[in-house]
Amino acid sequence: MSKDDRSIISWFAFAAAIAALVVAIVGVSNNDGGSASGGGGGGTSTPTVEVTMTDFAFTPATITIPTGGAKIRLINKGAATHNFQVAELSLKSIDVASGVTTDFEIGAQTAGTYKVICPQPGHEGAGMVGSLVVSTSATPAPGADHPIGDPKLMSASQMDALMLKVAQQYPAATAGHGGDVRQPDKVSTNDDGSRNVEFTITAKVVDWEVEPGKVVQAWTYDGVVPAPEIHVLSGDHVKIILKNNLPQSTSLHFHGIQVPNVMDGVDPYTEAPTVPGGEHIYEWIAKGPAVGIYHSHHNAEQQIPDGMFGAFTIDEMPIPQKLIDKGYTKVDKKVNMVLNDAGVIGLSLNGKSFPATEPYTLRVGEVMQATYMNEGLLGHPMHLHQPMGWIVAKDGIPMDEPTPADTIWVAPGERYTVLYMGMEPGVWAWHCHILTHAETPTGMKYMVTALIVER
């Protein structure tokens, strides 16, 4: 955020406005902690322990059962399919779809503490990890089934205080900023007037701060998440040199960009893998307009969610005549918003999680072009409280007839380009409308940011 942006409103007023957003998003009741029930160690009945699964957590995180076994009641309140696995005990539940409750029987086990994960691709890396404590007592340890922040254990004033504390941290400073437009390393002009543009991209693992204190080993292009935006023009002779400094092989795919088959970046079909320490050259002539993503296509379930993604754009999106007639005559500000929900990055906007997400500013009458790009494993309904958005392109293809929308479902791999005009001054919440991706009992978290509209 620039000094000019920060000067739009004072920090005191800004914090107060952000705190007010707590009541703007519907409170999340789906994060209720599970509770244990069932007979004691001397009884003959099998105790039942409720475990709620959300995107991406088990509640309670510590699950206590007797050595004689128990029934685990799995309740999926998330948007994705989840399941429950204790690899050390060879225990794994069936896949549990969103909104489904199922019982999972655990027989007699040796006392000890065992790791619980959701084995769905990317979910363990996103933090869906817990502990199974097998105890000689049939009754779960006091408090073990109620994590900190469980709304059942908090008074209204305690919850309000926690929510306000988180809100006042926004926008929290973290190390690293991704997604900025990078200039070509080399540019030259041909006799016919076309350009040769060359970029060298280095894939490497770096420390990345997702939110204050949460530093992960991110897999990146050029050390940032998202990777720098690459922007070229139609007719450009594009040359991308990929250098692989990762501990694994990789390849580079240009999702949504028209390239020759041999440049599609899908090893081992269109090329050999780019091995650690190696490099690969991709070349083609750009055809636009287009809005795409460049990302790995090798062990993609890890490499992409862990950070290997960035915007690739060609030309500018035209403004439909219908919107020009409504006053949308030019774009004053552009925003790419890359969505993620898995890997070490987890639920995030542009590689950051609230309260470390970036606020955006707009003046009344100005137009912002926002492009949503989903690189996660789940769909995300993105919602800006105001102003109303107009969808002008889908997957980089301009639309003859713009579509109004205040909530836009963005499936994995999809891109939506939307125009927003500043209408009413204020601080407007901007978030994924899967509520567990936006709020917890202790305040806003994950896929939340704000648009500040100023006169």
Inter-residue contact 350 to 130 (CB < 8 Å):
no
Question: For residue 152, what pLDDT band results from cuts at 50, 70 and 90?
Answer: low
Summarised one tens digit per residue, pLDDT across range 255-273 is: 999 999 999 999 999 999 9
Measured between alpha carbons, how far is 421 from 332 in angstroms, rounded to an integer? 10
| Full-model pTM | 0.76
Summarize the confidence of residues 393-411 as an average pLDDT. 95
pLDDT at position 150, please?
Answer: 54
CB 253 within 8 A of CB 242: no
Better pLDDT: 7 or 67: 67
Say what the pLDDT of residue 137 is. Answer: 58
- State the average pLDDT over residues 155-170: 90
**Span 173-201, mean pLDDT?**
96
Q: What is the pLDDT of residue 13?
A: 47
Over 90: is that where the pLDDT of 158 sits? no
Q: Has residue 30 got a pLDDT over 80?
A: no
Residues 336-369: tens digit of each pLDDT: 999 999 999 999 999 999 999 999 999 999 999 9
Measured between its terminal Cα atoms, the distance across the chain in Å is: 18
Q: How confident is the model at residue 12 (pLDDT cuts 50, 70, 90)?
A: very low
Confidence category of residue 15, pLDDT binned at 50, 70, 90? very low
**Nearest to 297, CA basis, from 253, 255, 337, 261:** 253
Q: What is the predicted pLDDT for the residue at 178?
A: 97
Task: Answer for the pair 48, 71: CB distance below 8 angstroms, yes or no.
Answer: yes
Per-residue pLDDT at 194: 93
Output the pLDDT for position 151: 62
Q: Which domains does the chain have, with CATH numbers?
A: 1-30+319-455 (2.60.40.420), 36-149 (2.60.40.420), 173-315 (2.60.40.420)
Q: How confident is the prediction for the chain on average, in pLDDT?
A: 87
Residue 121 pLDDT greater than 90, yes or no: no
